[in-house]
Structure 1
Amino acid sequence: MIRLTIINPNTSAAMTEKIGHAARSVAAPDTEIRALCPGPLDGPAAIESHSDEIRAAAAVQALIQDDLARGGSDGYIIACFGDPGLDAARELVDVPVIGVAEAAMHVAMLAGRTFGIVTTLSRTLGRARDIAHRYGADGALVAAYGSGLGVLELEDTRPEAYERILGWCRTVVEEDEADVVVLGCAGMADLCHRLSASLGVPVVDGVAAAVGLASGMARMGVGTSKRDEYAHPPLAPRVRAAETTV
């Protein structure tokens, strides 16, 4: 049995449930998925700014530390497209730690030569381009658009929100001529198949991509290197956080 813990760094239990469902829909029968988020006082309600990202990164670290106190998992997934706290999380464990943006971009580059991103607010596009550069994906990234939707509008995606996302995805495919569309928010995880059917190109959700990569690495016995940068941090502070599990 492989046990994966998926951390939604915002405090939305509804979004965490959606993320958990999307993860379980692609997981193998021998993979246990635990999806959790920080408690209402321990993380941001939504991650829509650099300030939110700082709180989110601290929540990720605290929730992994708490999971380790319970015996730990075979892999961890950070379910926010900014991949907050990814490097700090890798310092804590020797198992795989995957960010959903990292996973989505790598899978997109395997599925086509070029890809475009459709995300939430336009203010997050700079962060998306920064991490695309870090992951070596900036040469394949041909477009990135903010839909204008707030993160919490995706807790239960209404038809008008779906149509807006679909419209931006069409722009990525028809005007920017991208081979693949990447959805830039874990809250869009449930839209992937509908969008792909409408567009006729692969649409990549980072949650599903991260489940595949994390479970594959766990089966291969490939974890996080402890040789240098990701060695356990000296005198790491113990930070506790409440959590919500769905």
Structure 2
Amino acid sequence: MKIKVINPNTTWEMTKGIADAAESVRRPDTQIIAVSPEIGPASIESFYDEYLSIPGVLEEVKKGEEEGVDAYVIACYGDPGLQAAREVTEAPVIGIAEASLYMASMLAARFSIVTVLPRIKTMLEELVDGYGMSKRVLNIRTTPMCVLDFERDPERGMELLRQEGRKAVEEENAEAILLGCAGMAEFANELEEELQVPVIDGVVAAVKFAEAIVDLGKTTSKLKTYKAPETKQFIGMLAPFGSKA
């Protein structure tokens, strides 16, 4: 089985960490292909960043169709381009936020998310609501660190996650913690041991869901919503997307 893990930002150091997380849980017969797009932002911390990352994500999915990929993981907690990606492939496409929320709902009645900058909170509130999980998510706790800060200073990152995770458990009665950034994967196991509740990294969750869905022989429904986009002309820098639609 071949799973393509797409980090929607263009920072390879972060992609390497995401690849390590995916490799740590893959089955022996699963091949992980971890990539960053050729176009896109260095990190994703706003609606602006997120929307501009989507063409690069779609480009990588289209490449995957020629690479024999069996499933895709979008490794950013905003799940950018998830719905559009499902339109351009029959293979399963899984977002790491989606995967972590669904996994948490099977393990805990109520849970909290710990993520990066405060400006992300509204974005994630809308995402959580879109997945129908608003009643399950107690809070979205933020830190003063941006996405790439966790790569540059993992010790400080771990300490802030520890502080916010402990507050979520002790003050909010969170029964599980979700790590709201693909760059936080390395902290999950240590936090779980300290907090004594499930701590879920979305990359790990998405890879295991992908393996299960492929094993079951399931593919993305093409009946209506996720059928291939209608062929039409695109102009300017998006011209290649129109010609291949």
Displacement after TM superposition at 1:156 (Å): 4.5
- CA shift in 2, pair 1:88/1:133, >3 Å: same
The aligned residue for residue 238 of structure 1 is: 240
**Structure 2 segments unaligned to the other structure (5+ residues):** 233-238
Aligned residue pairs: how many? 236
- Superposition RMSD in Å: 1.3
SS state at 1:151 partner: coil
The aligned residue for residue 47 of structure 1 is: 44
Q: Do residues 125 (structure 1) and 124 (structure 2) align?
A: no
Displacement after TM superposition at 1:222 (Å): 1.1
SS state at 1:14 partner: helix
The aligned residue for residue 151 of structure 1 is: 147
Q: Do residues 65 (structure 1) and 67 (structure 2) align?
A: no
Partner Cα separation in structure 2 for residue 148 and residue 72 of structure 1: 40
Residue 65 of structure 1 contacts residue 239 of structure 1 at CA under 8 Å; is this kept in 2?
Answer: no
Displacement after TM superposition at 1:158 (Å): 2.4
Residues 17-54 of structure 1, C-alpha deviation per residue, up to 9 Å, x if partnerless? 00001001011111100100023xx1001101111011
If the length of structure 1 is used for normalisation, what is the TM-score? 0.93
Residues 149-193 of structure 1, C-alpha deviation per residue, up to 9 Å, x if partnerless? 100112244212210111001111110101000000000011100
Partner Cα separation in structure 1 for residue 151 and residue 35 of structure 2: 15
Equivalent AA in structure 2 for residue 85 of structure 1: G
Equivalent AA in structure 1 for residue 197 of structure 2: V
If the length of structure 2 is used for normalisation, what is the TM-score? 0.93
Equivalent AA in structure 1 for residue 51 of structure 2: I
- CA shift in 2, pair 1:199/1:61, >3 Å: same
Partner Cα separation in structure 2 for residue 238 and residue 215 of structure 1: 31
The aligned residue for residue 91 of structure 1 is: 87
The aligned residue for residue 7 of structure 1 is: 6
Partner Cα separation in structure 2 for residue 194 and residue 238 of structure 1: 45
Q: Do residues 222 (structure 1) and 222 (structure 2) align?
A: no
Partner Cα separation in structure 2 for residue 167 and residue 117 of structure 1: 13
SS state at 1:137 partner: coil
**Structure with the higher fraction of residues in strand conformation:** 1
The aligned residue for residue 199 of structure 1 is: 195
Displacement after TM superposition at 1:135 (Å): 1.2
Equivalent AA in structure 2 for residue 238 of structure 1: P
The aligned residue for residue 108 of structure 2 is: 112
Equivalent AA in structure 1 for residue 79 of structure 2: D
Equivalent AA in structure 1 for residue 22 of structure 2: A
Residue 15 of structure 1 contacts residue 154 of structure 1 at CA under 8 Å; is this kept in 2?
Answer: no
Partner Cα separation in structure 1 for residue 25 and residue 219 of structure 2: 21
**Structure 1 segments unaligned to the other structure (5+ residues):** 241-246
Residue 122 of structure 1 contacts residue 148 of structure 1 at CA under 8 Å; is this kept in 2?
Answer: yes
Q: Which moved more, 1:212-221 or 1:230-239?
A: 230-239
Partner Cα separation in structure 2 for residue 14 and residue 101 of structure 1: 21
Residue 94 of structure 1 contacts residue 225 of structure 1 at CA under 8 Å; is this kept in 2?
Answer: yes
Displacement after TM superposition at 1:72 (Å): 3.3
Residues 98-141 of structure 1, C-alpha deviation per residue, up to 9 Å, x if partnerless? 00000000001111000000000111111111111111211110
